[in-house]
Amino acid sequence: MDTTDGTLDEALGRLHAWGPEFGGFLANHGPMAVEALVRHGQAGSVHRWIDHYEKHLEDVPSPQGAITGANWREALGDPRRVTDWSAYFARQVAERPWRDVLAEWWPRLLPGVAGAATHPVIRVGHAVRTLLDDGEEAPRIAELAHALGYWAARHTTLPVSVNPAGAASPAEALAVLPRIADQQVLPLDGLAQLPGTPGWLATVDSLRVPHDDPEAVRAQLTALVRATVHRYLDHGHGHGVLMVHTATAPNAVLRTLPALPRELWAASLGAVWAASAAITSVYAAGEAQPPLEGVGGLVPEEVFERSAAHGDEHVIKLTDTALDVAAWVADGDDERALAAAVRAQTLIPAAS
């Protein structure tokens, strides 16, 4: 990614003037989308994209009171305190290295990774990738503070305790994951149905998490990202937007691993797998869509150009992750991953 022209830092500065949500609960995807646009050679479109996107955004919420080392627990998971949380983390990264702040707060925030449909951890992943790969300029450190603050404010635990300790691969576990829509479970409230869904906990707990081998954790998390991107191709039409997060959330954690103590890696895999599985169970389609036609010989750069032109933030983010998956193949050509990005372009309406 070429960050020398200042586009990314200018864009983050613009977006930090707005709140992290709009419309009551919709996440501000701006920082995530512009990071992906710049990374994939679309810096020239960034400010035009923001010109359109910021029409939807809302002002920064009013602060409620300072968060401190003594009172943070009572503010955790309170979305009314999001501005207080952002200010808290801004102070933290001003006083200490950002890696130290991340290492301290990651295990505190990890149990709430499912909050706000995993948007906060995805935002953290984009911020950390930039800091690790492209430099620690002030707007990028500020973005990490905003992302961590959003996560703290939207911290939400799943209504069931998960302990993956089996032998299954991500692809194997996803293939047999029960769907909420197939169960006679009440109340009809998304994640609240998980505890009463027959077979759900057993399937989620069947995933292999190699606690004593961090590199094996990285490999398993990589396999999870690949499996969820591939599954989006066939089953994403259950909900084209929300199914994006089944892949982008684990990829955000994967991008963050190098900045975390290795002893946190296994728990990170287990937590994000549970969140991804929960979203899959609620929103994945029951039957696979027919294969896409005319997607042979896809070129990653061209696929991203099409997603940038499409303009929807979820399409941009899924394509960003799909290109990661494609790059993991020796010849850089994972056709199913690239086709998943094309599928998103068809399932999600273009930005208007």
What token pair was written down for 197? 């869904």
Q: According to the model, what pLDDT value does residue 122 have? A: 98
Q: According to the model, what pLDDT value does residue 1 have? A: 61
Higher pLDDT, 24 or 344: 344
| Average pLDDT value for residue range 230-236 | 97
What token pair was written down for 212? 């004593």
Beta bridge partners of 148: none
Q: According to the model, what pLDDT value does residue 352 have? A: 75
Q: What's the pLDDT band for 329 if we cut at 50, 70, 90?
A: confident
pLDDT digits (tens, 9 = 90+) for 340-351: 999 999 999 999
Q: Is the pLDDT of residue 187 over 90?
A: no
pLDDT digits (tens, 9 = 90+) for 238-264: 999 999 999 999 999 999 999 999 999
Q: Is the pLDDT of residue 313 over 80?
A: yes
Element (H, E) at 186: none
pLDDT digits (tens, 9 = 90+) for 130-152: 999 999 999 999 999 999 999 99
- Which of 31-45, 142-156, 179-193 is predicted with the least confidence, judged by mean pLDDT? 179-193
Count of beta carbons in the 10 Å neighbourhood of residue 19:
16
Kindly give the pairing relationship between strand 26-27 and strand 21-22. Answer: antiparallel
Count of beta carbons in the 10 Å neighbourhood of residue 69:
7
Q: According to the model, what pLDDT value does residue 332 have? A: 59
Q: What's the pLDDT band for 185 if we cut at 50, 70, 90?
A: low
Cα separations in angstroms, 159 against 76, 163, 197, 269: 17, 13, 12, 18
Distance CA 230, CA 336 (A): 6
Residue 22 backbone phi and psi in degrees, to 5: -150, 165
Q: According to the model, what pLDDT value does residue 73 have? A: 98
Q: Is the pLDDT of residue 333 over 80?
A: no
Element (H, E) at 335: helix 335-347
Residue 244 buriedness (CB in 10 A; 0-12 / 13-18 / 19+) = buried
Q: According to the model, what pLDDT value does residue 3 have? A: 62
Q: What is the pTM of this model?
A: 0.96
Q: Is the pLDDT of residue 184 over 90?
A: no
Q: According to the model, what pLDDT value does residue 186 have? A: 47
Q: According to the model, what pLDDT value does residue 294 have? A: 77
| Average pLDDT value for residue range 49-58 | 97
Q: How far is CA 186 from the centre of its chain?
A: 28
What token pair was written down for 209? 């998490």
**324 contacts 316 by C-beta, under 8 angstroms:** no
Q: What's the pLDDT band for 331 if we cut at 50, 70, 90?
A: low
Mean pLDDT of the chain: 95
